[in-house]
Amino acid sequence: MDSDTPPPPLTPWYHQPVWLGLLGLILLVAGYRLSRYIPLSPHLEEQARRFDDLRQKAADSDLGRRLDEMAGRLAGGPPYLFPGRLVMLVGFVLFVIAGVQMYRQPARAPVEEVSAEPAGPDQS
């Protein structure tokens, strides 16, 4: 029947490099999106709409450029810049760990097929 060797133990998903790499990529993208996200409050949306109206009415390109600068200063920077970069760093580290695990993982031995010979003498 079977040999006395037990089957190899199943490895948890977080030890498999494919899943670690996928999780790392997801965290990289999520961290990038989080670090670039700037929420607009209703007040800032109204001001942005006003600046857009003024920019459309302005014929002077210099005035349009100055209005863009003012709108950028009013909005401020992304509030989740540091947490987003931290999530990106964690994702990058997970992706590198997955690559190292894939590189260091030994190649699987070829599976030897068992011939379908009967164990006893032929009785045909």
Rounded to two decimals, the pTM is 0.61
Query: Regarding predicted confidence, which is higher, 73 or 121?
Result: 73
> pLDDT digit string (tens) for 26-48?
999 999 999 998 887 788 778 77
pLDDT confidence of residue 95: 96
Please state the domain count of the chain: 2
The verdict on 34 and 84 lying in the same domain is: yes
Q: How far apart are CA 24 and CA 47, in angstroms?
A: 38
pLDDT at 117 over 80: no
Q: What is the DSSP string of 7-52?
A: PPPPPPGGGSHHHHHHHHHHHHHHHHHHHH-----HHHHHHHHHHH
The verdict on 49 and 32 lying in the same domain is: no
The verdict on 47 and 99 lying in the same domain is: no
pLDDT at 56 over 70: yes
Comparing C-alpha atoms, which of 32, 15, 10, 8 is closest to residue 100? 15
Domain extent at residue 65: 40-76
The verdict on 34 and 44 lying in the same domain is: no
pLDDT confidence of residue 87: 97
Query: Average pLDDT for residues 42-59, to the nearest whole number?
Result: 78
Q: How far apart are CA 42 and CA 45, in angstroms?
A: 5
Query: Average pLDDT for residues 57-85, to the nearest whole number?
Result: 78
